[in-house]
Amino acid sequence: MHFPPDRGVEVAFAGRSNAGKSSALNAITQRRALARVSKTPGRTRLLNFFELRVDRRLVDLPGYGYASVSGTERSTWAPLIESLRERESLRGLVLIVDSRRGVKDEDLELVRWAHGLDVHVLLSKSDKLNRSEAAQALRSATQALGGLATAQLFSMTSGVGVNEAQDVLERWLQ
Ligand code: GDP
């Protein structure tokens, strides 16, 4: 697989399709469109590496869900993310979970995949919840994650949690 050289530090971003991953990536990096590092034909739709600065990369994982139970999707997905997992530079995983939906088995599967890495969950679109619903969403997610990951509320629309997420990312990328 044509990944960039395994040097420095990289952080993976993942989430169910439509969870708000692209929006979160852009809000956190404060860019409208990130420049791609690897322009490998075919694979690029599945796994994209973005260079933030020298030897500091974000890896955008394909959105999962919907068809993820289908064999075809799983057979392309699984080997790809297994190769990613073997990279020395992979430091952490940011997982985007729709705050209205909460943490599901498919999300937990990825959290387990990331065993040994730092995992941080962004409970996205929190602007769609009122204050008490948001607090409840955070409690439920924290409980579901059972200490395997940290979690926070996030909204690119209201700006809630953007700084907090940036701090986590910067800490990992140091
Ligand atoms: P992705 O498929 O996970 O990359 O999700 P996108 O970033 O493309 O977002 C999916 C949809 O959710 C789009 O219609 C976004 O406008 C919407 N969305 C993303 N973030 C937010 C948010 O913080 N608040 C609200 N209300 N909508 C959002």
- What are 110-135's pLDDT values in tens digits? 999 999 999 999 999 999 999 999 99
Is the beta carbon of 23 within 6 A of some atom in ligand 1?
A: yes
pLDDT the model gives residue 62: 86
pTM higher than 0.85? yes
Q: Decide if pLDDT at 109 tops 50.
A: yes
Asked if residue 91 has its Cβ within 6 Å of ligand 1, the reply is no
Return the ligand 1 atom nearest residue 16 CA: 3
Neighbours of 150 (CB within 10 A): 13
Kindly report, residue by residue over 133-145, the tens digit of the pLDDT: 999 999 999 999 9
CA triple 113-108-36, angle to 5 deg: 60
Pocket test for ligand 1, best of 17, 18, 64 (most atoms within 8 A of CB): 18
Domain coordinates of the chain in residue numbers? 9-172
Annotation: CATH topology of 9-172: Rossmann fold (3.40.50)
If you average pLDDT over residues 59-63, what whole number do you get? Answer: 90
Inform me whether the pLDDT recorded for 44 exceeds 80: no
Distance CA(81)–CA(62), nearest Å, equals 10
What separation in Å is there between the alpha carbon of 96 and the centre of ligand 1? 10
